[in-house]
Amino acid sequence: MKQQRIPSISNESLLLRKLKILLRKNRFFPKKRLGQNFLVDESLIQRMINYASLNPEDTVLEVGAGFGFLTWRLAQRCKRVLAVEVDKKLIRALRHELKNLSNVDLIEGNILKVPIPPFNKVVSTPPYSISSPLLFWLLGKPFKLAVLTFQKEFGQRITASVGSKDYSRLTVATYYRAEAEILENVPKTSFYPSPDVDSVLIRLKPRETPPFKVENLSFFHEILQVLFTQRNKKLRNAVTLFLHKKGMRRAQAIKIADSLVFHDKRVRELAPEDFGAIANELYQKIKRK
């Protein structure tokens, strides 16, 4: 059997060599369930920092600090870095690696559960296992700009066009809160260990004013979640099922569903603004019942 060729160390990037040394030194084995794929592409790190237009007054949030490669470079360009890491072993390594940096605050814990001080920018390669809850968490916070790596499929869902196969609840919810763009594709070789899929670099800029009015935000998100599970159905059918499951008599549910604007369109054909109008109209009709 032909032996697999092992690349010589001279073919490895400096960051990859340093990472392998740190992995051995700390007896650390990356955990797939936590999405521990470490960024080892120096040029990508620099481009992320440039895309974020960092200045000495910025406080930057980093989710999933790893061994601090990105953290260290962020600290050279901004006022303060909030480096969040859930893995206790990595926290110990970070304390050693970043001990000479006075402007880095290490925060141990799950980003979705621990208190986070105010920040105005986000530059991060977060674990892909928390992509969706992290995005919704982030869109509920006040910040100016975020530059993040996401799984390619997830990034395409964020930026999808109306009616496309990737168009989803995520697309509409993000559009309501922020402008999103894919800056570049990121090959899996930019990380070690390499993930199973390629990634994309996304930039988010929160909107000062939402592009359409929503009367009840929680109801709007509930409607998005329900309707996109039935994206190929006509709106009247999806809404009828939604109202019926909420305890409304079927005849009444059909009557309300048929009275809605765009009732004859399929869910996937509705623009983000259409979902806002539908949520508002449906919310008022339900309130009156």
| CATH number where 257 lies | 1.10.8.100
Same domain for 136 and 171, yes or no, is: yes
pLDDT at site 274: 97
pLDDT at site 34: 80
Rounded to the nearest 10 degrees, what angle do helices 217-228 and 272-288 cross at? Answer: 110
Residue 275 lies in a domain: yes
Same domain for 97 and 221, yes or no, is: no
- Among the three residues 177, 206, 235, which one is the final residue of a domain in this structure? 206
Q: How many domains does the chain have?
A: 2
pLDDT at site 244: 85
Same domain for 36 and 169, yes or no, is: yes
Supply the CATH number for residue 42's domain.
Answer: 3.40.50.150
What's the N-to-C CA distance of the chain in angstroms? 74
Residue 4 lies in a domain: no
Same domain for 230 and 169, yes or no, is: no
Same domain for 116 and 197, yes or no, is: yes
Number of C-beta neighbours around residue 31 at 10 A: 11
Number of C-beta neighbours around residue 80 at 10 A: 18
Contact in structure between 60 and 153 (CB atoms under 8 Å): no
- Among the three residues 185, 206, 227, which one is the final residue of a domain in this structure? 206
Residue 212 lies in a domain: no
Question: What are the residue ranges in the chain where pLDDT is below 50?
Answer: 1-10
Same domain for 169 and 102, yes or no, is: yes
Following DSSP, what letter does each residue of the chain receive, concatenated? -PPPPPPPGGGS-HHHHHHHHHHHHTT----GGGT--EE--HHHHHHHHHHTT--TT-EEEEE--TTSHHHHHHHTTSSEEEEEE--HHHHHHHHHHTTT-TTEEEEES-TTTS-----SEEEE---GGGHHHHHHHHHTS--SEEEEEEEHHHHHHHTPPTTSTT--HHHHHHHHHEEEEEEEEE-GGGEESPPSS-EEEEEEEE-SS-SS--S-HHHHHHHHHHHHTTTTSBHHHHHHHHHHHTT--HHHHHHHHHHSTTTTSBGGG--HHHHHHHHHHHHHHHHH-
pTM above 0.95, yes or no: no
Same domain for 222 and 196, yes or no, is: no
- Residues forming beta bridges with residue 132, ordered by sequence position: none
Residue 3 lies in a domain: no
User: Taking Cα atoms as reference points, which of 132, 112, 221 lies closest to residue 176?
Assistant: 221
Same domain for 130 and 239, yes or no, is: no
Residue 2 lies in a domain: no
Same domain for 272 and 183, yes or no, is: no
Same domain for 44 and 154, yes or no, is: yes
Give the range of the structural domain holding residue 223, as residue numbers without chain letter. 217-288
Handedness of CA 207, 59, 91, 187 (dihedral sign): positive
Q: How far apart are CA 152 and CA 15, in angstroms?
A: 23
- Among the three residues 138, 172, 206, which one is the final residue of a domain in this structure? 206
Same domain for 147 and 281, yes or no, is: no
Same domain for 195 and 280, yes or no, is: no
pLDDT at site 247: 85
